[in-house]
Structure 1
């Protein structure tokens, strides 16, 4: 129900900006620090370098104090405290080029099919994929994969992004979730609708940066012991969030997600959104952070790393997976687990 009033709108008062502190505000009053220059430990040092050292120390104190008083929420405060107190990562034991080769190998199928693959079935599936036209028709009953994106859709996506805005990494375009929250909804609708209508995307969206983080207990000099972390462009993640929501809507409509398995039942999925996602998969390339001179590569194995639609697609992929039930399996409430 909408409520109208003739009362003038009252704008909430803005918070006072934090004071701009200078080095004079950062004097340490303790006797311990005040007497450092007279300490015998510094008696043998030249005067000018000594003054420079203490000047830099006070500059750092002033900078940290300004950061502290600029925090506007408990989240920002604790993020700042953790950035000061958390342990620092040790030096990487491998070069970016070594990580690049490892990431490329892990992200693509082997040159020869493993023995447990059926080569005939693999060839049939590849041939069937090549028969799919570039543009397809939406066959869903309520146009799930072709109806226009609305500002209401963008509002729901932004609501999801707010919980991630302070801890998301930017992609190659340097656009963060926090920046996306400031973009008008109608502008985002126009951007997404244009991409889906033209089955295209900005070139920067199609480059994902890969970084490596050492796994627990793995040797630092083994490139295969590093976890692959992808920095995909956040605007692309916003688009695939819309697709993932519609994919789940379609799954619910055709009863593709049973209670016992968050999975997928085979069905005919097509339409502009389906075509656009295939385009993203076909054109996406990966580069390794700081691996200068190494060529970008495609990942032909699995789903897009770091993409918001990948978890839902993975669940749907496993919908027709059937496990063999053994007589000695553990059962719970008459259900084999």
Structure 2
């Protein structure tokens, strides 16, 4: 049985990857220090013989006994609320954590895929963003701790590939949504849904004309899976190019939830990207991948997940600092 280590296993993306690799017949080792992950996301796997879990911080030495065929490094705070609250840990998991896992991959002869992000493009001056664009990032701004952690992560991964001949893959992940997101993690999809379900007005930062492109979790997992088993070692954008303004998206959420909330506007946070849309030409050509689940279908599935929350859970999820 092939064995895969997935870091950040209790997080949104990591937990869905655990499900996928279990389904594909792998022995899955999940690793997470639970600083932002939730054990509830993977507790359904604990009864399975082909799943094991380590509560461990990857910025410390990582040891896994026996053979290890693949490593997927998804450990990192990924929402603005998290990485603005714990900036040092965010930088450490992107640098020390990645270094540790690359070293483990070298020791085991494993193929390793690292989760990069569209945030390496910063507030882009090129639209849509292709892998050849080098980005526009404020290194000392509040978002720089996440953006630069991921940019360093890409650099050290390519250095290991070039210098040590390590078998590496780099996924540049664009906005992804779906079940198991935290309602209070500050990202726009759970922020709007949470506000709508609590009967609050929806908060837009800026004038609402900034854009995002949302990819449903199942499509994202499929793209990552195909990238891991491809022969391509350079970064690949994985996201949905269906672009929408935040104002239009807020109106969609109001219609979907059947609520009558108003939209209120607040100042735009520092360095918040004004446009975000992936050029997925490489993913189409190299992986034969493109998203299949439209936003209408994906948002209904996501809303159904959050509708199951109790009123108390919804109340506890309230957070005013959405970005």
TM-score, with length taken from structure 2: 0.24
Structure with the higher strand share, 1 or 2: 2
TM-score, with length taken from structure 1: 0.23
